[in-house]
Structure 1
Amino acid sequence: MANIATNIATIQTKAAEMDALIGQVRAAKAIIEAAEAEIRQMRPKSEPTKAYQERLALMALDAMGKPSIAGDRTMAELAASAWAGVA
């Protein structure tokens, strides 16, 4: 069993790692949202959207809120299936 000082050090180290991940998520989310916005502008209004299209960034945020759920499809898998066959 670790002592208090060791636990505090662990928390501080992991908090710094989380800060870095949050920065990466924010950057990726902004890029995804910009790409989705461009797609919305370019697509014909009559073209139906498939599941997960234009909402991937929101789904990623939801997945981070429930990290203990195992077996969910990854964001990469969702993106690949959502955009398969779309040009």
Structure 2
Amino acid sequence: MATIAANIATIQTKAAELDTLIGQVRAAKAIIDAAEAEIRQLRPKSEPSRAYQERLALIALDQIGKPSIAGDKSIAELAAAAWAGVA
């Protein structure tokens, strides 16, 4: 069994890792949001969106909040399927 000090050190180390990941998620979300906004402006208004084409970052955030859900498609898989055949 670890000591209190060892457990505190583990928590602090992992907290720093989470801070780094949060920064990466924020940056990726901002880039995805900007790309989705541009697509909405550029595509014809009459063209309906297919599943996962917009708000992919929100789906990713949902998966981050519920990491115990196994078997879900990855965000990369969802993005590939959503945009397959679209130019």
Normalized against structure 2, the TM-score is what?
0.98
RMSD of Structure 2 on Structure 1 (CA): 0.5
Match of 1:2, SS state, is: coil
Unaligned segments of structure 1, at least 5 residues: none
What does 1:39-50 align with in structure 2 at a 5 Å threshold? 39-50=39-50
1:22 is matched by which residue type in structure 2?
Answer: I
1:17 maps to a residue whose letter is E
**1:57-76 equivalences in 2 (<5 Å):** 57-76=57-76
Match of 2:15 in 1: 15
Counterparts of 2:2 and 2:69 in 1: how far apart (Å)?
28
- Aligned mates of 1:55, 1:83 — CA distance in 2: 13
Identity within the alignment, % = 83
Aligned residue for 2:86, secondary structure, equals coil
Q: How many residues align?
A: 87
TM superposition score normalised by structure 1: 0.98
Please identify runs of 4+ aligned residues in structure 1 that moved more than 4 A: none
What residue number does 2:86 align with? 86
